[in-house]
Amino acid sequence: MGSAIEVHGLVKRYDGLAAVAGIDFEVPAGTVFAFLGPNGAGKTTTVEILEGLRRRTEGSVVVLGLDPWADGATLHRRIGVIPQDFHFFEKITPKEAIEYYRSLFGSDADPGRLLAQVELLDKSGARFDTLSGGQKQKLGLALALANDPEVCFLDEPTTGLDPHARRAIWSVIRSLRQDGRTVFLTTHYLEEAQLLADRVAIIHRGRIIASGTPDQIIRAHGRPARLRVAGPPGLADLLAKELGVRARFEDGRIEVDLADKRDALRILGAIERSGLPWDSFTTHEDTLEDVFVRMVGRMDDGALKSEVPS
Amino acid sequence: MKPSRIGADFRIVYRSYSRNPVALFFSLIFPIILIGLFGLIFSSIGSTSATLVVLNEDHNSHDSQRFLSALNNTSLVSIKLESVAPADFATWLGQNDYSAGMIIPAGFQGNASNNTTTNLTLFVNPQDSATEGEVLTAVQGVAAAFNLEAKCGGATNCTPVIALAPLRNVGSQVYTYIDYLIPGLIGFSILTSPMFSLVDVSSSYRKEGIFRQLSLTPLTRAEWLTARVVWYVMLTFAAAGIMIGTGVYGFGAHVTLTLGMIPFLVVGPFFFVSLGMLCGTVSKTPEAAALIGNIVTFPMMFLSGTFFQVSSFPPDLAAVAHALPLYYVIDGMNQVMLFQNSTRAFTDFLVVLVASVVVFVLAVRLFQWRDER
């Protein structure tokens, strides 16, 4: 499988300050790639460079074999883009908008089919300024598909949407992947990335701090699975003494790391035998969001500490 | 440039505009209200010495010289002698931007000696009420003094030696203020609709990211701007039709409908769409764009001959007016609709055309779809 996007040594500086400080990644064709990062991390700058909307300072960027800045006009016929906070002409309806794009691209896109695909068919005759936030984003997505693109750039497409609208867009993203298109997704929602993406990269302060499949990132940077039991502090002492595990008590719960799933059975058996009162139990594994929050938080703490004069 | 893309964008402009009642009101209804208001209100302007062009058919006889000298001494008028065929005098005045003229007929001196009345013919421009007032005051005052001093000598029932023939208007036929107002207000419409709209659109579309969105399509900046030029040309034709219809049928205006109007109805919107785009492009925020747009628009609105003849302005202000592109649009339409002076109209057209091409190219070059930083 060839790469749809190749980025090497990408740097973007504004007035000497690096918004993107030398990043490398590749996106295989036909996959969903999630680009994650906190606000101001350099996500949008990177995606705009890939779309040919912004000039890079250094490095090499190739999308579908083209330089996005130099070959923008050619590239734009082969990509679809939904920008952050999509806006369109206020008095124009979704059907007219797709007809407009169809004329501009000279494509044969069917407005009815595209609007049905993004679940907006019932609003095909409503003016843009009467649509809800979610409906506007759906129109943005439909327009991004009007030229039958090979690569779709979706910049925070579900930000601010209700859960139903968000799931509708997820469904479209899955169908894009099934059609063999490449999707470059930036998002704040880690759950979204974990559900949809084949590969993920986390950018922070202009540098990529982790990349791989969601599972790889969780394995590499996440904590072990944990068992949590609601019970008295004495339970923690008992487990430490009897099983030699490290048990922590906090907020009425005991938390024990699990090296193996069978450990959970051993621990629960010991608790039951102790005769001490206990209530519910849960097991917990790190999600991509847990990993993201901890990695970014750790880096921010480090940065803060390094700024404190000794 | 691809016509199909211009057509697609034109449909977007047309639909956006036709679904916006406020925009339609200001483009098509507001000028009619202005015609009504200005047709009913006779405005006056602060006075300076008015130029009175004189055609002396009495070959500079002693009495005619004395009469003109007395007029000059009133300080109300400044006499300018010209030699034009009397039949063409009204047209000549219009074509040369003079608001007042007078013919002293042959035999003025002889009539004075014989106690016979000489009728002086005065030409005035109804749109330039200030000049008309000054000229009438001066001529009537000096004529009365001549009548008293020279002939009547205090006697009653004497025959006046100087009388005023019914006033005639500058131009080749009798015009009213409303006749002059129609080309002016068509110019007003050509200026305001595209300027206000494009200044707003160019800055707000940039802020909302719509230009970035369009930059990802094959539509070019020149095509985008051309679609708007085409729309505003069509809107200008509609507005001009409505204004001429209102003026003619509502206020009895006299204007010549000629194909010579068409170049100005095309090149005018071409210029102001481009200028509006340029103003929006060089501004960083919609607020700054509105400010720049107003700074550019408002002086042009009042100094280009829209409501008042530039010939009635003080010389310094008139020089400013001649530097404004709208002056040439309105003057050109005056020339074709009122004075049938195609030579001067062609010159006006060339000035606006060259300015339009320059501003269009500048607007397209400076207007960026994407972030060049």
Query: How high is the ipTM of this complex?
Result: 0.80
| Portions of chain A given CATH number 3.40.50.300 | 3-220
Contact list in A for residue B215 (CB cut-off 8 A) is: 53, 72, 76
Sign for the pseudo-dihedral over CA of B361, B364, B365, B366: positive
Determine contact, residues A152/A79, Cβ cutoff 8 Å. yes
Angle at B11 between CA B9 and CA B17, to 5 degrees: 105
Q: What is the pTM of this model?
A: 0.74
| Portions of chain A given CATH number 3.30.70.3400 | 224-284
Interchain contact, A53 vs B8, CB within 8 Å? no
- Look up residue B83 and give its two tokens: 């030699």
Contact list in A for residue B7 (CB cut-off 8 A) is: 103
Interchain contact, A54 vs B216, CB within 8 Å? no
Q: How is residue A245 annotated by DSSP?
A: -
Q: Which residue of B has its CA nearest to A92?
A: B16
Interchain contact, B5 vs A101, CB within 8 Å? no
Sign for the pseudo-dihedral over CA of B4, B10, B11, B12: positive
Rounded to whole angstroms, the Cα distance separating B334 from B186 reads: 11
Q: Does domain A224-284 correspond to CATH entry 3.30.2000.10?
A: no
Residue type (1 letter), A106: G
Residue written as tokens 């404190």?
A308
Q: H or E element: which one contains B205?
A: helix B177-208
Mutate to test the interface with B, among A57, A79, A87 (most CBs of B within 10 A): A87
Which candidate, B79, B58, B82, B57, places its Cα nearest to that of B68? B79
Residue written as tokens 């048990």?
A247
**3-class SS at B100?**
strand
Domains defined along chain B, listed by start:
3-41+176-366 (no CATH), 50-169 (3.40.1710.10)
- Look up residue A242 and give its two tokens: 């009897």
CATH of A3-220, one of 3.40.640.10, 3.40.50.300, 3.30.920.30, 1.20.1560.10: 3.40.50.300
Tens-level pLDDT at each residue, chain B (373 residues): 889 999 999 999 999 988 888 888 887 888 778 777 776 664 333 335 678 899 888 877 888 888 888 888 777 788 888 888 888 888 888 888 888 899 888 888 888 777 778 888 888 887 777 788 788 878 887 887 777 665 555 455 566 667 766 666 665 455 566 777 888 889 998 998 888 888 888 888 888 889 889 999 999 989 999 999 999 999 999 999 988 888 888 777 778 788 999 999 999 999 999 999 888 888 878 788 888 888 888 888 888 888 777 777 778 888 888 999 999 999 999 888 887 788 889 999 999 999 999 999 998 888 877 665 5
